[in-house]
Amino acid sequence: MSYETGSTHIGIDVEKFLSDGHGVCQDFAHLSVAICRSLGVPARYVSGYLFTASDETGEDTGDDVVDVETHAWFEAAIPGQGWMAIDPTNGREVGPRHVKIGHGRDYDDVPPLRGSVSGKAGTEVETSVEIRRMDPSHQATVVQPPLTHSDMEHPGFQQQQQQGRSAG
């Protein structure tokens, strides 16, 4: 699979992404969630931003200010560990340059912008997001949210817990 800016749009299904062989970060996140769920691993889609000038490489540019586009990744419930966040587009764990907006079942649960516009036909809304690098002495600690009761009731999570007990 290859990353190609602008090659897909919101709402394409995993089968289309697989058949085309290219897509954007939302497609990589949706595919990863689908794979996890097919194996019985609880997983969720995450919407946010990545402090980089290029979603394709995910590399730190060294700039202190970056205009960013939305980015997507996923989290999988790992027994005994909690939620593990992975950025499949860039092939790495989520780190301090990832800014989470929210998580849900898929993109429709956590779009970066939602609302309604009232006015004349043809009204357009434009948004931009700028992220600034903080002074290292002021960096916040990233805290993973705890597993919820509904996460632990998921059949895949229960199965993994039982496997973990029997392996120990």
- Residues 91, 94, 100, 106, CA torsion sign: positive
Asked if 92 contacts 58 with a C-beta cutoff of 8 angstroms, the reply is yes
> In this predicted structure, what is the pLDDT of residue 162?
54
Token pair recorded at residue 106: 């898929």
> In this predicted structure, what is the pLDDT of residue 115?
72
- The CATH code of domain 2-112+126-167 reads 3.10.620.30
Q: Is 67 helix (H, G, I), strand (E, B) or coil?
A: strand
How many of the other CB atoms lie within 10 Å of CB of 86?
20
Token pair recorded at residue 150: 């509904």
- Residues 47, 52, 54, 60, CA torsion sign: negative
User: pLDDT tens digits, the chain, 168 residues: what are they?
Assistant: 766 665 566 666 666 766 666 677 888 888 899 999 999 999 999 999 988 866 666 777 777 888 888 889 999 999 888 999 999 988 889 988 899 989 998 888 888 777 777 777 666 777 788 888 777 666 666 566 666 666 666 665 555 555 545 544
